[in-house]
């Protein structure tokens, strides 16, 4: 039996597990190593519908250019190149949120773990609400495309985690640790949310995304401390999500504000 501190057996992603998602994505490619799957797809010039998975990334990045590290095959690290053509650019801010919903769906229904989202798209797992997944969305310059990058800790041991506030599906008692099965479930859910978003021209209400997200986001209703990129900090209560995917916060000074992911360094519970 594997202890939480000993690395488990980490097999390659089985191509046979990727069944349901192949009807939505025209190409799913797995490589042993690369610098960054996001950077590779941004520079690829390919048509949308491509998914690139890496067993190891030596140059993975997160939001605000933070480093993302994981031992080989311990995590599920992939990027998906998607078409955003029918959606006005102002509504592209919903891409990180709907991507978070896709990962959450797989974590709950396939892994069977207790999970919620922290705005905008961090997956928090277990009773201590520790972070198991981060998502980075990047627009492709000059094209109506975006790249959605996902980094999910699957069999990462406690000793391998980068910070004490992180966790993995294994550490939280996941029923499934097969990265192929998890990838398949995430890609199916992601395609479903993207189809609804595009069909509604990015409108989060008519697509149903607003209702889904509000029900999944633990940040809404919390007292929070907002740390802006300008260095300003303030506190208030998160009251909702606006049509552009921004977090609505009623400040302790009585002023209602909406903050976007690009405006803040952290939004944390008080």
pLDDT number for residue 213: 97
Close Cβ partners of 201 (under 8 Å, ≥ 6 residues apart)? 86, 87, 88, 91
Question: Of the CATH numbers 1.10.238.10, 3.40.605.10, 3.90.550.10, 3.30.930.10, which one belongs to the domain with range 15-213?
Answer: 3.30.930.10
d(CA 6, CA 8) in angstroms, rounded, equals 6
pLDDT number for residue 70: 73
pLDDT number for residue 59: 60
- Nearest Cα to Cα of residue 86 among 199, 211, 248, 217: 199
- Number of Cβ atoms within 10 Å of the Cβ of 11: 11
The CA–CA distances, whole Å, from 229 to 24, 163, 233, 263, 266 equal 37, 22, 9, 6, 9
Beta bridge partners of 134: 151
Q: Which residue has the tokens 């199916």?
A: 188
C-beta separation of 68 from 62 below 8 A: yes
Tokens of residue 41, six digits? 């797809």
Q: Which residue has the tokens 């690369």?
A: 34
Q: Hey, where are the domains in the chain?
A: 15-213, 219-269
Domain 219-269 in the same topology as domain 15-213:
no
Q: What is the pTM of this model?
A: 0.92
- For the stretch 6-24, pLDDT in tens is 667 799 898 888 989 998 9
- For the stretch 83-140, pLDDT in tens is 999 899 989 999 999 999 999 999 999 999 999 999 999 999 999 999 999 999 999 9
Whether cis (ω within 30° of 0) applies to the bond prior to 235 is no
pLDDT number for residue 1: 41
pLDDT number for residue 64: 47
**Would you state the CATH architecture of domain 219-269?**
Roll (2.30)
Q: Print the SS3 string covering 151-197.
A: EEECCCCHHHCCCCCECCCCCCCCCCCCHHHHHHHHHHHHHHHHHHH
Low-confidence ranges of the chain (pLDDT < 70): 1-7, 59-69
Q: Which residue has the tokens 């590779």?
A: 40
């Amino acid at each position: 039996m594997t202890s939480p501190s000993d690395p488990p057996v980490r097999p390659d992603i089985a191509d046979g597990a990727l069944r349901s998602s192949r009807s939505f994505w025209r190409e799913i490619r797995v490589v042993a190593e690369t610098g960054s799957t996001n950077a590779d797809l941004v520079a690829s010039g390919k048509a949308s519908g491509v998914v690139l998975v890496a067993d190891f990334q030596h140059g993975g990045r997160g939001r605000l250019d933070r480093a993302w590290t994981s031992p080989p095959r311990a995590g599920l690290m992939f990027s998906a190149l998607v078409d955003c053509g029918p959606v006005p650019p102002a509504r592209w801010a919903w891409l990180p949120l709907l991507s978070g919903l896709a990962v959450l769906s797989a974590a709950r229904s396939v892994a069977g773990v207790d999970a919620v989202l922290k705005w905008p798209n961090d997956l928090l797992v277990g009773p201590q609400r520790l972070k198991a997944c981060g998502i980075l969305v990047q627009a492709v310059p000059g094209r109506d495309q975006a790249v959605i990058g996902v980094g999910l800790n699957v069999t990462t041991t406690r000793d391998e985690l980068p910070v004490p506030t992180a966790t993995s599906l294994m550490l939280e008692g996941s029923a499934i640790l097969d990265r192929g099965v998890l990838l398949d479930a995430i890609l199916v859910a992601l395609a479903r949310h993207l189809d609804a978003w595009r069909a509604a021209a990015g409108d989060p209400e008519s697509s149903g995304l607003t209702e889904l997200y509000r029900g999944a986001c633990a940040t809404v209703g919390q007292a929070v401390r907002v740390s802006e990129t300008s260095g300003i900090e303030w506190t208030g209560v998160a009251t909702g999500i606006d049509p552009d995917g921004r977090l609505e916060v009623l400040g302790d000074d009585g002023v209602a504000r909406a903050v976007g992911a690009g405006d803040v360094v952290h939004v944390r519970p008080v």
